[in-house]
Amino acid sequence: VGGEQISSIGRGLCVLLGISLEDTQRELEHMVRKILNLRVFEDESGKHWSKSVMDKQYEVLCVSQFTLQCILKGNKPDYHMAMPTEQAECFYNNFLEQLRKAYKPELIKDGKFGAYMQVHIQNDGPVTIELESPAATVDPKQLTKLEKQQQRKEKTRTKVPSESSRERNTPRNKDDPSASSGAEGDVSSEREP
């Protein structure tokens, strides 16, 4: 932060935590349990996926990362699902407190909430696992205007055939250079900047 190293760990987990508007104490407790008990380390005999961070007595570095709550509107990130700063800071501090209570406080490190940070992660493997708290039952009355719009779009979206029915029903000659196996074509996806 500001050119100064404020935190570091050795072997362990780097947790990038995105806090949603809908997150509650229930989700917080679930994530604490999952993070501390997730079996991603090898045991003494070298068997992979056998030990948790607590089993190995490794460290945990937590970084608040509101950008994980991003929803893309075309190519522009929208963060309306991220918890507002004041609430999120309290939630994040509570999350750290719960981790420290459930494990060894001296092995839980963190960044600086809300600060612009340079985070250097050396992934071993690399292994990156996305954890989400169990989805709560959503009351339709609680959906935001944007979510309702997105649901309507999904319901009304229709598939456009890639070729006319005449072309689909016409047998293709395997020697015809314009014939396609379907294995090639335009594959596009949205990528984060």
Catalytic residue among 67, 85, 144, 170: 67
37 C-beta neighbours (distance < 10 Å), count: 12
Q: Are the C-beta atoms of residues 35 and 141 closer than 8 Å to each other?
A: no
Catalytic residue at 128? no
Rounded Cα gap, residues 156 and 146, in angstroms: 15
Rounded Cα gap, residues 102 and 32, in angstroms: 8
CA 17 to chain CA centroid, Å, is 8
Sequence letter at residue 30: H
What does residue 28 show for φ and ψ, rounded to 5 degrees? Answer: -60, -50
Q: Are the C-beta atoms of residues 133 and 27 closer than 8 Å to each other?
A: yes
Q: Are the C-beta atoms of residues 114 and 64 closer than 8 Å to each other?
A: yes
Q: Which residues are 60's β-sheet partners?
A: 13, 108
Q: Which of 67, 83, 155 is nearest to 147 (CA)?
A: 155
Rounded Cα gap, residues 29 and 96, in angstroms: 11
Active-site residue set: 67
